[in-house]
Amino acid sequence: MLEVRGIETYYGNIPALREISIDVPGGSVVAIIGANGAGKTTLMKTIAGVLQPRSGTVSFLGKEITGLPSHKIVRRGVALVPEGRAILSRMTVRENLEMGAFTRRDAKGAAQDMDRVMERFPVLKERAGQLGGSLSGGEQQMLAIARALMSAPKLLLLDEPTLGLAPLVVADIFAIIHEINATGTTILLVEQNVKQALKVSSRAYVLETGKIVLSGPSKELLQEPRIKASYLGQ
Protein backbone atom coordinates (compact mmCIF):
# COMPACT_ATOMS: atom_id res chain seq x y z
CA MET A 1 0.00 0.00 0.00
CA LEU A 2 2.79 2.43 0.94
CA GLU A 3 6.27 2.45 -0.59
CA VAL A 4 8.91 4.85 0.67
CA ARG A 5 12.13 4.81 -1.37
CA GLY A 6 15.39 6.58 -0.58
CA ILE A 7 13.79 9.47 1.30
CA GLU A 8 16.09 12.22 2.52
CA THR A 9 14.55 15.09 4.50
CA TYR A 10 16.48 18.08 5.80
CA TYR A 11 15.95 20.86 8.31
CA GLY A 12 17.94 23.61 6.66
CA ASN A 13 21.29 21.97 5.92
CA ILE A 14 20.91 19.33 8.62
CA PRO A 15 19.82 15.87 7.42
CA ALA A 16 17.00 14.40 9.52
CA LEU A 17 16.34 11.34 7.33
CA ARG A 18 18.93 9.58 5.22
CA GLU A 19 18.05 7.05 2.50
CA ILE A 20 14.91 5.79 4.23
CA SER A 21 13.02 2.98 2.50
CA ILE A 22 10.04 1.18 4.05
CA ASP A 23 7.06 -0.87 2.86
CA VAL A 24 3.61 -1.00 4.44
CA PRO A 25 1.45 -3.82 3.03
CA GLY A 26 -2.29 -3.28 2.86
CA GLY A 27 -4.16 -4.53 5.92
CA SER A 28 -1.07 -4.60 8.15
CA VAL A 29 0.21 -2.74 11.19
CA VAL A 30 3.83 -1.66 10.72
CA ALA A 31 5.78 -0.04 13.57
CA ILE A 32 8.61 2.49 13.50
CA ILE A 33 10.61 2.46 16.72
CA GLY A 34 13.60 4.44 17.92
CA ALA A 35 14.82 6.89 20.52
CA ASN A 36 13.90 10.59 20.73
CA GLY A 37 15.45 12.51 17.86
CA ALA A 38 15.80 9.44 15.65
CA GLY A 39 13.66 11.00 12.90
CA LYS A 40 10.39 9.12 13.46
CA THR A 41 8.11 12.18 13.45
CA THR A 42 10.01 13.65 10.49
CA LEU A 43 9.30 10.46 8.55
CA MET A 44 5.58 10.60 9.36
CA LYS A 45 5.36 14.27 8.37
CA THR A 46 7.21 13.56 5.13
CA ILE A 47 4.80 10.76 4.21
CA ALA A 48 1.82 12.99 5.07
CA GLY A 49 3.10 15.90 2.97
CA VAL A 50 3.68 18.24 5.91
CA LEU A 51 7.42 18.21 5.10
CA GLN A 52 8.91 17.91 1.63
CA PRO A 53 11.86 15.53 1.08
CA ARG A 54 15.00 16.69 -0.68
CA SER A 55 15.18 13.39 -2.55
CA GLY A 56 13.44 10.03 -2.76
CA THR A 57 9.84 9.05 -3.43
CA VAL A 58 6.66 8.19 -1.52
CA SER A 59 4.06 6.09 -3.34
CA PHE A 60 0.58 5.18 -2.13
CA LEU A 61 -1.51 2.50 -3.85
CA GLY A 62 0.93 2.49 -6.74
CA LYS A 63 0.86 6.24 -7.38
CA GLU A 64 3.56 8.68 -6.36
CA ILE A 65 2.43 11.28 -3.82
CA THR A 66 5.83 12.91 -3.20
CA GLY A 67 5.48 16.67 -3.09
CA LEU A 68 1.68 16.74 -2.98
CA PRO A 69 0.19 19.15 -0.43
CA SER A 70 -1.05 17.42 2.70
CA HIS A 71 -4.78 18.01 2.06
CA LYS A 72 -4.50 16.22 -1.28
CA ILE A 73 -2.74 13.30 0.40
CA VAL A 74 -5.60 13.14 2.92
CA ARG A 75 -8.03 13.04 0.01
CA ARG A 76 -6.07 10.10 -1.46
CA GLY A 77 -6.70 8.16 1.77
CA VAL A 78 -3.79 8.89 4.14
CA ALA A 79 -4.48 10.51 7.53
CA LEU A 80 -1.96 11.56 10.17
CA VAL A 81 -2.65 11.61 13.91
CA PRO A 82 0.20 13.93 14.92
CA GLU A 83 2.41 13.70 17.97
CA GLY A 84 0.88 15.86 20.70
CA ARG A 85 -2.66 15.30 19.32
CA ALA A 86 -3.08 18.85 17.92
CA ILE A 87 -6.78 18.93 18.67
CA LEU A 88 -8.64 22.20 18.20
CA SER A 89 -9.01 23.11 21.86
CA ARG A 90 -11.50 25.97 21.41
CA MET A 91 -13.82 23.93 19.23
CA THR A 92 -16.24 21.30 20.49
CA VAL A 93 -15.65 17.58 20.16
CA ARG A 94 -18.24 17.41 17.37
CA GLU A 95 -16.64 20.36 15.55
CA ASN A 96 -13.23 18.67 15.78
CA LEU A 97 -14.73 15.57 14.20
CA GLU A 98 -16.41 17.61 11.48
CA MET A 99 -13.05 19.20 10.67
CA GLY A 100 -11.65 15.70 10.15
CA ALA A 101 -14.06 15.29 7.23
CA PHE A 102 -13.25 18.62 5.57
CA THR A 103 -11.74 17.03 2.43
CA ARG A 104 -14.74 14.77 1.85
CA ARG A 105 -17.36 15.43 -0.79
CA ASP A 106 -19.85 12.76 0.36
CA ALA A 107 -21.92 14.40 3.09
CA LYS A 108 -24.03 11.29 3.61
CA GLY A 109 -20.97 9.07 4.08
CA ALA A 110 -19.41 11.58 6.46
CA ALA A 111 -22.60 11.65 8.53
CA GLN A 112 -22.57 7.84 8.70
CA ASP A 113 -18.93 7.88 9.78
CA MET A 114 -19.78 10.42 12.49
CA ASP A 115 -22.30 7.93 13.88
CA ARG A 116 -19.75 5.10 13.69
CA VAL A 117 -17.08 7.16 15.43
CA MET A 118 -19.48 8.09 18.22
CA GLU A 119 -20.32 4.40 18.67
CA ARG A 120 -16.66 3.38 18.73
CA PHE A 121 -15.73 6.15 21.19
CA PRO A 122 -18.67 6.47 23.62
CA VAL A 123 -16.81 9.04 25.72
CA LEU A 124 -16.73 11.38 22.72
CA LYS A 125 -20.46 10.95 22.23
CA GLU A 126 -21.00 11.89 25.87
CA ARG A 127 -18.78 14.96 25.48
CA ALA A 128 -19.83 15.97 21.95
CA GLY A 129 -20.71 19.51 23.04
CA GLN A 130 -17.64 20.07 25.24
CA LEU A 131 -14.61 22.03 24.11
CA GLY A 132 -11.72 19.84 23.00
CA GLY A 133 -9.40 21.55 25.47
CA SER A 134 -11.55 20.43 28.40
CA LEU A 135 -10.93 16.72 27.76
CA SER A 136 -8.39 14.60 29.62
CA GLY A 137 -5.19 13.54 27.85
CA GLY A 138 -6.57 10.12 26.99
CA GLU A 139 -9.84 11.58 25.74
CA GLN A 140 -7.95 14.08 23.59
CA GLN A 141 -5.95 11.23 22.05
CA MET A 142 -9.16 9.36 21.27
CA LEU A 143 -10.52 12.55 19.70
CA ALA A 144 -7.38 12.95 17.57
CA ILE A 145 -7.71 9.36 16.32
CA ALA A 146 -11.45 9.73 15.73
CA ARG A 147 -10.93 12.99 13.85
CA ALA A 148 -8.46 11.25 11.51
CA LEU A 149 -10.94 8.40 10.96
CA MET A 150 -13.51 10.96 9.81
CA SER A 151 -11.48 11.40 6.62
CA ALA A 152 -12.18 7.69 5.84
CA PRO A 153 -8.47 6.80 5.52
CA LYS A 154 -7.13 3.65 3.95
CA LEU A 155 -3.83 4.28 5.77
CA LEU A 156 -3.68 5.75 9.26
CA LEU A 157 -0.39 7.28 10.45
CA LEU A 158 -0.21 7.25 14.26
CA ASP A 159 2.62 9.31 15.75
CA GLU A 160 3.24 8.50 19.45
CA PRO A 161 -0.41 7.85 20.33
CA THR A 162 0.34 6.80 23.93
CA LEU A 163 2.87 9.50 24.81
CA GLY A 164 2.31 10.86 28.33
CA LEU A 165 -0.76 8.73 29.03
CA ALA A 166 -1.48 6.65 32.14
CA PRO A 167 -0.92 2.86 31.83
CA LEU A 168 -4.64 2.02 31.82
CA VAL A 169 -5.26 4.55 29.05
CA VAL A 170 -2.28 3.16 27.10
CA ALA A 171 -3.94 -0.26 27.16
CA ASP A 172 -7.16 1.30 25.84
CA ILE A 173 -5.32 3.04 22.99
CA PHE A 174 -3.59 -0.18 21.89
CA ALA A 175 -6.96 -1.98 21.99
CA ILE A 176 -8.36 0.77 19.72
CA ILE A 177 -5.40 0.40 17.34
CA HIS A 178 -6.04 -3.34 17.11
CA GLU A 179 -9.76 -2.78 16.51
CA ILE A 180 -9.21 -0.15 13.80
CA ASN A 181 -6.85 -2.48 11.97
CA ALA A 182 -9.23 -5.43 12.36
CA THR A 183 -11.93 -3.43 10.56
CA GLY A 184 -9.70 -2.97 7.52
CA THR A 185 -7.57 0.16 8.03
CA THR A 186 -3.82 -0.18 7.46
CA ILE A 187 -1.69 1.44 10.18
CA LEU A 188 1.82 2.87 10.32
CA LEU A 189 2.65 3.35 13.99
CA VAL A 190 5.41 5.41 15.61
CA GLU A 191 5.61 4.45 19.26
CA GLN A 192 8.09 4.67 22.14
CA ASN A 193 6.38 1.82 23.99
CA VAL A 194 8.48 -0.64 22.02
CA LYS A 195 7.17 -3.85 23.57
CA GLN A 196 3.53 -2.99 22.88
CA ALA A 197 4.37 -1.65 19.42
CA LEU A 198 6.05 -4.91 18.48
CA LYS A 199 3.14 -6.92 19.90
CA VAL A 200 0.48 -5.06 17.91
CA SER A 201 2.44 -4.90 14.61
CA SER A 202 3.45 -7.56 12.09
CA ARG A 203 6.65 -5.82 10.97
CA ALA A 204 8.87 -3.09 12.35
CA TYR A 205 11.72 -0.78 11.43
CA VAL A 206 14.27 0.58 13.89
CA LEU A 207 15.33 4.17 13.23
CA GLU A 208 18.55 5.66 14.67
CA THR A 209 19.83 9.15 13.83
CA GLY A 210 17.84 9.28 10.62
CA LYS A 211 18.76 5.84 9.32
CA ILE A 212 17.09 2.45 9.41
CA VAL A 213 19.46 0.16 11.27
CA LEU A 214 17.25 -2.90 11.69
CA SER A 215 13.99 -4.27 10.29
CA GLY A 216 12.04 -7.48 10.21
CA PRO A 217 9.02 -9.35 11.54
CA SER A 218 7.98 -7.90 14.90
CA LYS A 219 8.01 -11.29 16.65
CA GLU A 220 11.65 -11.75 15.65
CA LEU A 221 12.62 -8.23 16.73
CA LEU A 222 11.11 -8.87 20.18
CA GLN A 223 13.80 -11.54 20.60
CA GLU A 224 16.60 -9.51 19.00
CA PRO A 225 19.39 -8.88 21.57
CA ARG A 226 19.98 -5.29 20.43
CA ILE A 227 16.28 -4.48 20.84
CA LYS A 228 16.17 -6.11 24.26
CA ALA A 229 19.24 -4.21 25.44
CA SER A 230 18.38 -0.80 23.97
CA TYR A 231 14.60 -0.63 24.32
CA LEU A 232 13.28 -3.35 26.62
CA GLY A 233 15.79 -3.07 29.45
CA GLN A 234 16.73 -6.76 29.25
| CA distance linking residue 228 with residue 143, whole number of Å | 33
Closest CA to 197 of 23, 40, 32: 32
**For the residues of 208-226, what is the DSSP string, one character each?**
ETTEEEEEEEHHHHHT-HH
pLDDT tens digit sequence for 55-92 = 999 999 999 999 999 999 999 999 999 998 889 999 99
**pLDDT of res. 192:** 87
Query: Rounded mean pLDDT of 97-121?
Result: 91
**pLDDT of res. 234:** 59
Give yes or no for residue 139 having a pLDDT over 80. Answer: yes
Closest CA to 24 of 40, 5, 52: 5
**pLDDT of res. 82:** 93
**pLDDT of res. 105:** 87
Which CATH number is associated with domain 2-86+153-231? 3.40.50.300
Give yes or no for residue 164 having a pLDDT over 90. Answer: no
Average pLDDT, the chain: 94
